[in-house]
Structure 1
Amino acid sequence: MTTDNTQHDETDAEDEVGVRTAATLIERDDVILLDVREDDEWDAGHAPDARHVPLGTVDSSAPSAGAWQADIPEGTTILTVCRSGRRSARAAQILRSAGWTVRNVNGGMEAWAQAGLPVEDSRGQAGTIA
């Protein structure tokens, strides 16, 4: 059975990006993939080059916000991702309000995995999307 993943490959929304486009963009030095899921979801499976910052920590007013933002160079584009796209859309709003250039990954890690893109667990083995 073949699954049509084209809905997540391209998007017309200026603030979103499809999973295949996201996978290409994160190869650049000026783009990072920020996974905003909870620890157990991250541990089960994530994109190999992603950074993990749970949604509750993304808010720039949170006490730990400065720690993860400090090593991101000015001018970096942040791609936000979660399981399906809802939490990462919220994270994108928060980061945009703080002045970052942000695009949400359409369809989240579910679409990422469905597109056959790599997913690894916290031990570096093949992961699953929880």
Structure 2
Amino acid sequence: MSDFENVDVDSIGADAKVLDVREDYEWEAGHIDGALHIPLDQLPERLDELDPDEDLHVICRTGGRSYRAAAWLVGNGYSAVNVDGGMGAWLEAGKPMVSDNGQEPTVK
């Protein structure tokens, strides 16, 4: 049993802190405006960029990497929840996205 929650994209408020753990090419194609981007494999060395007292909504493409990241963060004393369905669910829900490549935001 996990010690953290899985939440759906509709439960993420406008002021929520979102941590995107996807790879750079995925982030560039489309992400949530205002999200923090730390690829999963960089999380341990970039942990000091996160506030342990802030509730983090961890997201990836479908929910697998974010699940592992949320579990690891909670295990290290951070407050984190996994976003079920990831950016795929975000896109399907018609939520706003931005891209860094000058193209229409999408999920890769």
Q: TM-score range by the shorter chain?
A: 0.7 to 0.9
Distance in 2 separating the partners of 1:78 and 1:96: 10
Q: Deviations over 1:3-39 (max 9, x none)?
A: xxxxxxxxxxx611110111x2xx23xx410000000
Distance in 2 separating the partners of 1:107 and 1:78: 16
The structure-2 alpha-carbon separation of the partners of 1:93 and 1:118, relative to structure 1 and needing over 3 Å to count, comes to same
Q: 1:35 aligns with which of 6, 10, 20?
A: 20
Q: Could you tell me which amino acid in structure 2 is paired with residue 46 of structure 1?
A: H
Distance in 2 separating the partners of 1:44 and 1:90: 22
**1:4: which partner in 2?**
none
Q: CA RMSD in A?
A: 1.9
**2:105: which partner in 1?**
127
Contact 1:34 1:51 in 2 (8 A): yes
Q: Deviations over 1:25-63 (max 9, x none)?
A: xx23xx41000000000000001121100001112xx3x
Is there any run of 5+ residues in structure 2 with no aligned partner, and where? none
Q: Which gives a bigger RCO, structure 1 or 2 (Cα 8 Å, sep 6+)?
A: 2
What is the TM-score with the length of structure 1 in the denominator? 0.74
Identity within the alignment, %: 38
Tell whether 2:24 aligns with 1:46: no
Runs of 4+ residues over 2 Å off in structure 1: 123-126
Tell whether 2:47 aligns with 1:65: yes
Distance in 2 separating the partners of 1:124 and 1:54: 21
Q: 1:86 aligns with which of 37, 48, 64?
A: 64
Aligned residues: 106
What is the TM-score with the length of structure 2 in the denominator? 0.88
Structure with higher Rg: it is: 1
